[in-house]
Amino acid sequence: MGEKTKLAVSPAIQVGGSVFTPQQLAKIGTVTDSAAKIEMTSFKQLYVEVPLDKREAIQNELEHAGLEVYPAGFATKSLIACNFCKGTKEAGLETARILNRAIAGIETPTPLKIGYAGCALGTSEPLIKDIGVIKIRDTFDIYVGGEPKGIKASMGRLLVSGVTEERLVPVVSTLIDFYKEQAKGKEKFVKFVDRITMDQLKQLIA
């Protein structure tokens, strides 16, 4: 048997949340062999096992079907967004799509989860993500250091509020880049935040 690799596959960010069409699910089935493993992850991506030598061709087919394909493993995950129940404009659907294009699939010391909520209801649970973005009226609040696992699970802490739409991508990208540069080995983001301190992160994005 040839060498295998995994692709992280997700539907486009849209009203209604993480919704696959029947055609997209069928496409995933047709591009993999009967022995392939398909894993549902906790960050709304499917890990699809494919032959390494066919990775590029399979990725092209999946993307042609309207799916988003990113690296699996140690990388920023595709944006974990809400269902945009407040409406596309009020909840910032296009902003979420822009943010996703900017941050998804970046190689990082450990897998990095970024959540987005279009209102204070926070249905995408942004406060238990590594970085959480919440739209409040016309600006955004950014939280860091959420951790949903283990007996020391923790809520994200407010890093900055009132971030404009124009500054959102630069601020989140700056946090990711700083983490990549300053993390010690495979240091989890929540531990990185504790070590670096909130004050230093606030100065970084000021």
Tell me the CB-side half-sphere exposure of residue 146, using CA atoms within 13 A: 22
Burial per residue of 139-163, b for 16 or more beta-carbon CB atoms within 10 angstroms, e otherwise: ebbbbbbbbeeeeeeeebbebbeeb
Give the domain CATH number at 18.
Answer: 3.30.70
Measured between its terminal Cα atoms, the distance across the chain in Å is 52
Give the domain CATH number at 138.
Answer: 3.30.413.10
Q: Note whether 55 and 98 are same-domain residues.
A: no
Q: Note whether 120 and 191 are same-domain residues.
A: yes
In whole angstroms, give the CA distance from residue 93 to residue 138.
Answer: 13
Q: Note whether 27 and 52 are same-domain residues.
A: yes
Tally of domains within the chain: 2
Look up residue 63 and give its two tokens.
Answer: 């993307």
pLDDT in tens, the chain (206 residues): 579 999 999 999 999 999 999 999 999 999 988 888 999 998 899 999 999 999 999 999 999 999 999 999 999 999 999 999 999 999 999 999 999 999 999 999 999 999 999 999 999 999 999 999 999 999 999 999 999 988 888 999 999 999 999 999 999 999 999 999 999 999 999 999 999 999 999 999 99
pLDDT tens across 134-156, in order? 999 999 999 999 999 888 889 99
Q: Note whether 53 and 146 are same-domain residues.
A: no
In whole angstroms, give the CA distance from residue 197 to residue 38.
Answer: 38
- Looking up tokens 């992280």 gives 8
Burial of 196 (0-12, 13-18, 19+ CB in 10 A): middle
Q: Which amino acid is at 98?
A: I
Do the Cβ atoms of 52 and 5 come closer than 8 Å? yes
| 156 φ/ψ angles, rounded to the nearest 5 degrees | -65, 155
Contacts of 56 (CB under 8 A, 6+ apart): none
pTM of the model: 0.93
Q: Note whether 62 and 89 are same-domain residues.
A: no
Query: Of 71, 99, 122, which residue is a domain's last?
Result: 71
Q: Which domain holds residue 40?
A: 4-71
